[in-house]
Amino acid sequence: MSNTTRYSVETIPGGYPRDRIFNPVSVAVMGVTPTPGTVPYDIFYNILASGYKGVLYPVAPGKRSISSVPAYRYLTDIKDDIDLAVIVFPAKVVARALRQCGEKGVKGVIIISAGFREVGPEGAKREQEIKDICAEYDISLVGPNCLGVVNTDPKIMLNASFARKMPAQGSIAFLSQSGALCTAVLDYARNRNIGFSKFVSFGNKAGVTEMGLLDYLHQDEQTDVVLLYLEELRDGRALIETARRVTRGDNPKPILAIKSGRTPQGADAASSHTGSLAGEDAICEAVFAEAGIIRLNTIEELFDTAIMLTNQPMPKGNRLAIVTNAGGPGVMATDSAVNLGLEIARFEQATTDKLTDALPAAANIKNPVDVIGDARSDRYEAAVGAVMDDPNVDQALVILTPQSMTDIEEIARGIVKVHEQTDKPMACSFIGAADVAVGVDILQAAHIPHYIMPEWACGAMADVQRIRRWRELPDEADYQPPSADRDAAAAIIDAAPAGYLDEDQAMTVLKAYGFPVPACKLCRDADEAVEFAEKNGFPAVIRVVSPQIIHKFDVKGVALDLKDADAVRNAYNDMFRHISEAMPDAEIKGVLVRGMIPAGREVILGAKYDSAFGPTLMFGLGGLFVEIFRDVTFALAPITPFTAARMVRQVKAFELLEGARGTGPADVDSVEECLLRLGRLAFDFERIAELDINPLIVGPAGQGSNVADVRIRLSE
Amino acid sequence: MSNTTRYSVETIPGGYPRDRIFNPVSVAVMGVTPTPGTVPYDIFYNILASGYKGVLYPVAPGKRSISSVPAYRYLTDIKDDIDLAVIVFPAKVVARALRQCGEKGVKGVIIISAGFREVGPEGAKREQEIKDICAEYDISLVGPNCLGVVNTDPKIMLNASFARKMPAQGSIAFLSQSGALCTAVLDYARNRNIGFSKFVSFGNKAGVTEMGLLDYLHQDEQTDVVLLYLEELRDGRALIETARRVTRGDNPKPILAIKSGRTPQGADAASSHTGSLAGEDAICEAVFAEAGIIRLNTIEELFDTAIMLTNQPMPKGNRLAIVTNAGGPGVMATDSAVNLGLEIARFEQATTDKLTDALPAAANIKNPVDVIGDARSDRYEAAVGAVMDDPNVDQALVILTPQSMTDIEEIARGIVKVHEQTDKPMACSFIGAADVAVGVDILQAAHIPHYIMPEWACGAMADVQRIRRWRELPDEADYQPPSADRDAAAAIIDAAPAGYLDEDQAMTVLKAYGFPVPACKLCRDADEAVEFAEKNGFPAVIRVVSPQIIHKFDVKGVALDLKDADAVRNAYNDMFRHISEAMPDAEIKGVLVRGMIPAGREVILGAKYDSAFGPTLMFGLGGLFVEIFRDVTFALAPITPFTAARMVRQVKAFELLEGARGTGPADVDSVEECLLRLGRLAFDFERIAELDINPLIVGPAGQGSNVADVRIRLSE
């Protein structure tokens, strides 16, 4: 997809963070003030107090020292080379400070200060100035309007942020467009004993973007999983390209993301607060699907899944075993697991035998295994051990409720023992709080993920399955786009004014791109129509062609199933009489004559040029499915066969194409072929504002499809 | 619905708990052993240690005392009257102990012991014996196979359960079919500072049922909200009747419930662990909808909503204001609120003016209000005060993220101040953990519900809206069921063997119940068919009638649109020739002749006799909507107009009946009328195993509907 970047609202000038942003040997904080509790002081003090392993210089005009560290009036007063400058000056003087960085040869800069694009036109101007300076001096920039950057690597220990405390070390990287959210996330994560490798608030992303950060973290040895909080998606194509590189291949790392502004009201709020371009959520959904990014809704879902990914191996399959000492939560977990697409494992006989031996008669030895309320550690260990050994089990969830005889600590130790002897992932849910705390600590120390509620564990396990399936998809490196006669289409499109193409022109464009268009001819009078129909065969169809008539059926501009020459002639005359009364001012170019298309299943293929995402594609089944159930899928054009298959299969009504209701399978291949061609057409011609093939009539498998109607609207 | 109980699997013999179960003056624990950490000891000790205000007697054969309390060999050795006996003997001797209770005149009994219905046929026999004894002595029984009962009322202080600790006092009652879940819930709730009025584990509900408990708690002054965990729904009709009494009227109390076993796999697990009758989840859903019970999925959803209900007033409307110091969580909360059906309030000008005055220029003064990351308590207090005063705001959610300058404690105090001056509900989400804890404590002390994540607050608020709308529904006390000629239908149904009724018979049954059935006649030969068609009018339809031919179209047993006498005669002859070849053994009774039904929108009305729930009804739009999207609604028969309206409106495709796609509204009234009639028919005849009106063809508004096809299958 190398030529796709022309639809980027913004490519990535300096969008890739230089390593010195995360691993600087020397840091200057520019604009420090001496008052604790203010951002300019706190940022400086946080670096100082975090145990940073490099050299730290405060730039604080008019101060001799800050917290006893000697201060400098100007950056240029510092003799040492500076790797990273953190700018906390007020917005108005940021540009000047940045230029000083450039002159001193500083290549990494974080601008914490707010007052840029997010505050309106004046701020946007300031932001552009900053971008220009970064380009001029080749500066790698994080921010502005951000919380800063944290690197917990013990060799660096950099907390260049206004987060109160340094987070614990871990293998999760967190990237956030919202700064304020970061502090809350850090506090929340600390409470769950979750550590981070890197923590980045990238704010307005005037320089470094999420794409650059993803590439950087892909190479970062400390990072295993990337969490991403986005408020705007400015460059879907670049995100797809980058994320695929990160999430697949030799060194795959999962990306879990929240993209807020799902609802129109939420998007409103987003655009008023960071000046975001709120894209249509359906397109975002498509971008994430194409990118292999797991989209989640809430902060705790992010961490629920991240702790599973960072603590446990990838399961080999989808089959879950549940062991519980309480039937109720076992049933609830089963409901949740099944709803989320996990499979409830069926045990082999050997497992059932082991469970029968180890458990009392009243226990349930089927999955979910109920060891019963009075179970102690021996029963748990035997049951969990038995199910983990079963080749039909890919992963297990162990649930515990604290009864008065439950030896929680011993049970946790027993689970840890089983865990040490298996290479399959496990998770636990000891439901409760104080009573179960001692067991939870033991589990977590052994890197067994713990969830207060079993449903959360199921959610995390289901997300892991999505990642597994994504990684298993075949590569498509050798795919060749469909052939097309671009010149023939250009001859029509380039010459046409803005507005709808006439139907004969639209059909010619589709034909040039290899769509299955029925033989047809624009005929100027009844004789010509009869002549073509006789040559082409009966029954015939005639359709009026007029730039003013978009909805042909409304003015009786379509006549179907004309069985002979007389029928064509009469239909022609009737049509013209009716239209001359109904729309006397319509300019009639003639009628399009073609044969009847054999009946089949009707689908809709659409393309739309989106100002943020460029050409996008839509697919759905005809009529009601689209209108009532909004049962449609989207993608960015162009697409590959992989995406064509996804688009067709992700609509619920796909069953109908597959052959539900005893109709036999439809020719799905031909639909995918048409989607590929539409992807190329929409990509080749930016002027195609909207294109609707409605319907494409799909025949039985092997018998192809036919375009029954098409409308193409061109922009200026 | 007084005559509906005949479909109860079980009515409620002694199902209503006597007050002495919760408020006994004297308690005997029967079967106490001296070993701490065993159920028989712990139950006794928990009553002793809970500070019970009455007199406690251990019955422990062979022991002089238990924990220094004098012990008795037999219950009858106790001179005092006993209000409540708690039986912890092994299952085999429970019946004997229970009989002793009866003989001594004990009217309230809790059986903790397991080993009854849940362990198979032998246990079921034991359980029946217990029921018989309770009936004989008029004993009100909780259990068996349960955790016990807790009453936190300071005048009683009874912890007759094997829960480790007495829960805090509060106004939430918790009823659970699962005993093991209870201990986990108590531990979890303690961690969230949630108190209870009553806590009941009702186990196998051999005596007291959820219905009896709901009625009891409806009268209980300590209880404001009831939480219910159910694994089986044995008597949907009784639950509807009881819950409506509790959730509506003068003293309405919300009921929030989990019914586990939603998925077939979950239901499997449920039935293997408490011997439950797992009903179809769709019917459960319908029962809860009819009952006004808010169905939730997880334990924390139960408590999220319960703390909102018990701490805050009912909102007057649906409009939500959000105040936040971080845009990101504000957008996420907005997304969540909108997805859950809450409305984002639009402020009036006065509010906007106040916000403009109080907040800096960079703030967002539209809803969600963003007071910006550096906001301190003055800004929060002003913003929250302003939105609460706005008449367009019904409720508010205040979000905080801990920035270094955030004076969390003062902000919490400011919110409390606003809260004291408003009668509208509020909730807060201070995102984080340790950093925000001090603020959370202040909020909770002032009874402002707090949620770590804003989405949880939105979920609770959305549930409160469901309760509000339920309470506002009009009563239907004066509804009269539709008239019907029951005898005419009985003449056919009572005489027919098991299996399908012939179409003419089925049509006659529908006619007797007032359905819009087209004029039709069963004709034995072509002459008769022609004669009737001429009388009835053309175009005519003929349909073969044969007990062996269920799928008429498959054997060309239907001929449509017959325009004259010849067409009818030819169709008749063709049909018989074809069928005599295709199904030579079919016994042909004749053909049903009727007129063509005008085209319209097609809907399906169904009835099915369910072994657990009795007659049930189904509604959906024709064909694909039912088959692909499972877009159907259910109810228990008979129904009232309220339910008929719900059934029709809860399908997604309702838009089509309302007039989407420019078709104009369909005659929805006539569909509802048919559902009411179907409800009565299915209710009147238990032998109707399945009935499908497919399709009912619905005309434009005011023009009625027509039954186009019906099949009725009778059981033995």
> Distance, in angstroms, between A678 CA and closest chain B CA?
27
- Can you give the residue range of the structural domain that contains B22? 14-308
Quick one: what percent of chain B has pLDDT higher than 90? 68
Judge if B274 and B302 occupy the same domain. Answer: yes
Identify whether A493 is part of a domain: no
> Distance, in angstroms, between A432 CA and closest chain B CA?
4
DSSP string, B182-222: HHHHHHHHHHTT--EEEEEE-TT-SSS-HHHHHHHHHH-TT
pLDDT, tens digit (0-9, with 9 covering 90-100), for A277-310: 334 677 888 889 889 999 998 999 999 999 999 9
For A138, the token pair is: 């080749």
What's the farthest any 2 CA atoms get from each other in chain A? Answer: 102
Which 3 state secondary structure label does DSSP give A583? coil
Tell me which chain A residue has its CA closest to the CA of residue B39: A404
Confidence bin at A554 (pLDDT 50/70/90) = confident
Tell me which chain A residue has its CA closest to the CA of residue B631: A629
For A516, the token pair is: 């299955």
Is A376:A339 a contact under the CB 8 Å cutoff?
no
pLDDT, tens digit (0-9, with 9 covering 90-100), for B192-215: 889 999 999 999 999 999 999 999
Tell me which chain B residue has its CA closest to the CA of residue A269: B331
* CATH at residue B468: 3.40.50.261
Q: Residue A402: which of B187, B192, B339 has the nearest Cβ? A: B187
Q: Does residue B3 have a pLDDT over 50?
A: no
A–B: how many Cβ contacts below 8 A? 286
* Chain B residues inside the 8 Å CB shell of A435: 164, 183, 187
Q: What is the pLDDT of residue A550?
A: 75
- Mean of pLDDT over chain B: 89
Q: What is the pLDDT of residue A2?
A: 38
Helices (H), B105-153: 121-137
Say if A627 is an interface residue toward chain B (CB within 8 Å): yes
* Chain B residues inside the 8 Å CB shell of A337: 265
Cβ neighbours of A707 (radius 10 Å):
21
Say if A298 is an interface residue toward chain B (CB within 8 Å): yes
Which amino acid, B632?
V
Distance CA B11, CA B212 (A): 11
pLDDT, tens digit (0-9, with 9 covering 90-100), for B474-517: 777 677 888 899 999 999 999 999 999 998 999 999 999 999 99
Q: Does residue B15 have a pLDDT over 70?
A: no
Asked if ipTM goes beyond 0.95, one says: no
A335–B176 CB contact, under 8 Å: no
Judge if B261 and B410 occupy the same domain. Answer: no
Say if A42 is an interface residue toward chain B (CB within 8 Å): yes
- Separation in Å, CA B338 to CA A557, A636, B331, B335, B400: 43, 27, 11, 5, 20
Confidence bin at B578 (pLDDT 50/70/90) = confident
Say if A90 is an interface residue toward chain B (CB within 8 Å): no
Q: Does residue B356 have a pLDDT over 50?
A: yes
Say if A278 is an interface residue toward chain B (CB within 8 Å): no
**Binding-face residues of B in 506-535 toward A, CB within 8 A:** none
Say if A346 is an interface residue toward chain B (CB within 8 Å): no
pLDDT, tens digit (0-9, with 9 covering 90-100), for B321-350: 999 999 889 989 999 999 898 999 999 999
* Chain A residues inside the 8 Å CB shell of B368: 269
Confidence bin at A488 (pLDDT 50/70/90) = very high
Tell me which chain A residue has its CA closest to the CA of residue B178: A328
pLDDT, tens digit (0-9, with 9 covering 90-100), for A419-478: 999 999 999 999 988 889 999 999 999 999 999 999 999 999 999 999 998 888 877 767
Say if B459 is an interface residue toward chain A (CB within 8 Å): no
Confidence bin at B104 (pLDDT 50/70/90) = very high
> Distance, in angstroms, between A482 CA and closest chain B CA?
33
Judge if A303 and A342 occupy the same domain. Answer: no
Q: What is the pLDDT of residue B266?
A: 66
A652–B661 CB contact, under 8 Å: no
Q: Residue A187: which of B177, B432, B655 has the nearest Cβ? A: B432
* Mean pLDDT, residues A394-414: 94
Quick one: what percent of chain B has pLDDT higher than 70? 94
Say if B262 is an interface residue toward chain A (CB within 8 Å): yes
Asked which of A258, A282, A308 is the last residue of a domain, the reply is A308
Say if A655 is an interface residue toward chain B (CB within 8 Å): yes
- Separation in Å, CA B311 to CA B8, B194, B220, B227, B444: 37, 11, 18, 15, 9
* CATH at residue B566: 3.30.1490.20
> Distance, in angstroms, between B77 CA and closest chain A CA?
30
- Mean of pLDDT over chain A: 89
Asked which of A449, A466, A489 is the last residue of a domain, the reply is A449
Confidence bin at B153 (pLDDT 50/70/90) = very high
Identify whether B62 is part of a domain: yes
Judge if B122 and B256 occupy the same domain. Answer: yes
Which 3 state secondary structure label does DSSP give B84? strand
Say if A408 is an interface residue toward chain B (CB within 8 Å): no
Judge if A173 and A218 occupy the same domain. Answer: yes
A596 bridge partner residues = none
Judge if A287 and A385 occupy the same domain. Answer: no
Q: How many domains does chain B have?
A: 4
- Going by C-beta distance under 8 Å and a sequence separation of 6 or more, which residues neighbour residue A680? A481, A482, A484, A513, A637, A638
Distance CA A1, CA A239 (A): 12
- Separation in Å, CA B392 to CA A638, B344, B387, B396, B472: 47, 10, 9, 11, 20
pLDDT, tens digit (0-9, with 9 covering 90-100), for A309-364: 999 999 999 999 999 999 889 989 999 999 898 999 999 999 999 999 999 988 89
Distance CA A23, CA B621 (A): 63
A653–B628 CB contact, under 8 Å: yes
* Chain B residues inside the 8 Å CB shell of A338: 263-266
Distance CA B311, CA A463 (A): 36
Distance CA B41, CA B35 (A): 6
Judge if B454 and B393 occupy the same domain. Answer: yes
Judge if B341 and B357 occupy the same domain. Answer: yes
Distance CA B689, CA B463 (A): 36
Say if A121 is an interface residue toward chain B (CB within 8 Å): no
Distance CA A536, CA A520 (A): 8
Say if B2 is an interface residue toward chain A (CB within 8 Å): no
* CATH at residue A670: 3.30.470.20
> Distance, in angstroms, between B101 CA and closest chain A CA?
27
> Distance, in angstroms, between A140 CA and closest chain B CA?
25
Q: Does residue A259 have a pLDDT over 80?
A: yes
* Chain B residues inside the 8 Å CB shell of A694: none
Judge if A37 and A163 occupy the same domain. Answer: yes
Identify whether A465 is part of a domain: no
pLDDT, tens digit (0-9, with 9 covering 90-100), for A691-708: 999 899 999 999 999 999
* Chain B residues inside the 8 Å CB shell of A188: 431-433, 452
Q: Residue B335: which of A260, A299, A374 has the nearest Cβ? A: A260
Judge if A268 and A369 occupy the same domain. Answer: no
Is A24:A106 a contact under the CB 8 Å cutoff?
no
- Going by C-beta distance under 8 Å and a sequence separation of 6 or more, which residues neighbour residue B573? B526
Is B390:B346 a contact under the CB 8 Å cutoff?
no
Identify whether B562 is part of a domain: yes
Q: What is the pLDDT of residue B262?
A: 65
A327–B402 CB contact, under 8 Å: no
Tell me which chain B residue has its CA closest to the CA of residue A661: B627
For B693, the token pair is: 């009106």
Identify whether A290 is part of a domain: yes
Judge if B246 and B297 occupy the same domain. Answer: yes
* Mean pLDDT, residues B294-302: 93
- Optimal mutation site among B284, B324, B335, interface A, most CBs of chain A within 10 A: B335
Q: What is the pLDDT of residue A10?
A: 38
* Mean pLDDT, residues A210-221: 94
Tell me which chain A residue has its CA closest to the CA of residue B179: A326
Say if A252 is an interface residue toward chain B (CB within 8 Å): no
Confidence bin at A604 (pLDDT 50/70/90) = very high
Q: Residue B270: which of A331, A629, A631 has the nearest Cβ? A: A331
**Tokens 């004559």, residue located:** A593
B178–A273 CB contact, under 8 Å: no
Say if A629 is an interface residue toward chain B (CB within 8 Å): yes
Identify whether A5 is part of a domain: no
* Chain A residues inside the 8 Å CB shell of B203: none
> Distance, in angstroms, between A44 CA and closest chain B CA?
13
Dump strand ranges (E) for B283-363. Answer: 294-295, 319-324, 343-344
Sign of CA dihedral A510, A516, A517, A519: positive
Q: What is the pLDDT of residue A661?
A: 57
Is B699:B657 a contact under the CB 8 Å cutoff?
no
Confidence bin at A642 (pLDDT 50/70/90) = confident
Judge if B57 and B141 occupy the same domain. Answer: yes
B402–A258 CB contact, under 8 Å: no
Q: What is the pLDDT of residue B270?
A: 55
Q: Helix (H) and strand (E) counts for chain A? A: 24, 30
**Binding-face residues of A in 198-237 toward B, CB within 8 A:** 229, 231
> Distance, in angstroms, between B475 CA and closest chain A CA?
32
Q: Does residue B612 have a pLDDT over 70?
A: yes
B338–A266 CB contact, under 8 Å: yes
Q: What is the pLDDT of residue B268?
A: 62
> Distance, in angstroms, between A433 CA and closest chain B CA?
5
Identify whether A569 is part of a domain: yes
* Chain B residues inside the 8 Å CB shell of A262: 335, 339
For A487, the token pair is: 């010149």
Identify whether B511 is part of a domain: no
Distance CA B503, CA B589 (A): 10
* Chain A residues inside the 8 Å CB shell of B346: none
Question: Which of A607-616, A617-626, A662-671 is predicted with the least confidence, judged by mean pLDDT?
Answer: A617-626
Asked which of B308, B326, B351 is the last residue of a domain, the reply is B308
Phi, psi values for residue B240, rounded to 5°: -60, -50
* Chain B residues inside the 8 Å CB shell of A268: 334, 366
For B404, the token pair is: 């270094």
pLDDT, tens digit (0-9, with 9 covering 90-100), for A660-671: 656 789 999 999
Q: What is the pLDDT of residue A279?
A: 42
Q: Does residue A20 have a pLDDT over 70?
A: yes
- Separation in Å, CA B160 to CA B23, B40, B93: 11, 11, 20
